[in-house]
Amino acid sequence: MNSKQSKVTALSLKRNKIKADHVWDFRNKVGIPEVKDNHSDLAATLHGGAELTAEGLKLDGNRGYAKLSNWEWGGTTSIEVYVKYNSFNSYSRVFDLSDGGDDNVNLLNFKATSTIRWEVRKGIVGFGSTNKCLDASNFETSTWVHVVVTVSGTTMKVYKNGALAGTNTAGHEPNVLTRSQHWLGRSANSRDGYFDGTIAYMKMWHGVELQQSEVTALYENR
């Protein structure tokens, strides 16, 4: 992208007012034990051998993960990540935002494949919970992939590298509550694998469904 294009894209970002509510940028923070959200005191703390490199949060696919601080949220939501998988463990999470295994909001690879899965569970597992998901193609091995997922009303969407990759119009929004487990790289289900790769950053918008033009601008400025 040349300087003129960068200026145009920056103006587009400003005009569309898509400033995220939370931003955890893990790049170029080598040697520190936690990363603070750019807009609040919510922190991402490292566990299980997770480490920060110039590229971001490096996770080993074995036991490394990061835990975000707890806060109340739900309803219409948009989340942006920039990730690189090294390999695909079974149902390994980019993020698993749950309340002790219930009311999960997840981005993961389906089974041990590269398929992108975006899912929102409402309620307690085993007690009438409902799980809505959307599968799209796909994460790639050893390649950076930009993903934006949105949910508004009954519509869930997945965008990959700036383009719409899938839509589910029979979905639902996450419940509004304070979840106890906001994890990056780890599942609330102990049977699932850990994320093997690097997460450059994660951003969240509350009450906002990002639109195609905004997702394109985010991808161009990744």
Percent of the chain's residues with pLDDT above 70? 91
Upstream peptide bond of 168 is cis (omega within 30 degrees of 0): no
pLDDT, tens digit (0-9, with 9 covering 90-100), for 146-201 = 999 999 999 999 999 999 999 999 999 999 999 999 999 999 999 999 999 999 99
What are the structural domains, with CATH classification, of the chain? Answer: 19-220 (2.60.120.200)
Confidence of residue 9 (pLDDT cuts 50, 70, 90): very low
pLDDT, tens digit (0-9, with 9 covering 90-100), for 26-43 = 999 998 989 999 888 899
pLDDT, tens digit (0-9, with 9 covering 90-100), for 127-154 = 657 999 999 999 999 999 999 999 999 9
Paired residues of 32 in beta bridges: none
